[in-house]
Amino acid sequence: MQCPCNPNKKYSDCCQKAHQNIHSVTSAEALMRSRYSAFVLANIDYLQKSYHSSTRPSKREKKEILAWTKAVNWIKLEVLHATENTVEFKAFFMENGSIDVIHENSVFCKENDHWVYLGQK
Ligand SMILES: [Zn+2]
């Protein structure tokens, strides 16, 4: 199957590696891509794991995130700009019949020796 983050790559050569072992992620952009793919695949445990401990959603929020990502249809990811610890992206999805976009400049850092998502800039 194609990777949700990049239709030119196979999932097994791309985000699956991250989903199987978060320690294999070597850059902020790769972590961001793997989080997008986890939203598409409703892999909520990976999403939780890839948050920094200070911003990780609560159990209740986790359920809401899971319900939301299952309710929308993800269309595509566009990475606009990436630095060592930030990634600006657009994530397009369909919700209730209309196209919507998340445009975010995300900040990443390392915790427990692997990349994690800290929050928005
Ligand atoms: Zn991918």
8 A C-beta contact, residue 22 and residue 35: no
**Ligand 1 center to 53 CA (angstroms):** 24
Distance separating alpha carbons of residues 32 and 116, to the nearest angstrom: 9
Query: How many A from CA of 59 to the centre of ligand 1?
Result: 26
Between the CA of 91 and the centroid of ligand 1 the distance, in Å, is 13
Cα separation, 23 vs 3, whole angstroms: 19
- Fold designation for 2-120: Nuclear Transport Factor 2; Chain: A, (3.10.450)
74 CA to middle of ligand 1, Å? 14
Domain ranges of the chain: 2-120
**Rounded to an integer, what distance in angstroms lies between the CA atom of residue 20 and that of residue 40?**
16
- Give residue 19 CA to ligand 1 midpoint distance, Å: 10
Percent of the chain with pLDDT over 90: 99
- Mean pLDDT of the region 45-64: 97
- pLDDT at res. 62: 97
**Interval 11-28: pLDDT, tens:** 999 999 999 999 999 999
Q: pLDDT digit string (tens) for 70-106?
A: 999 999 999 999 999 999 999 999 999 999 999 999 9
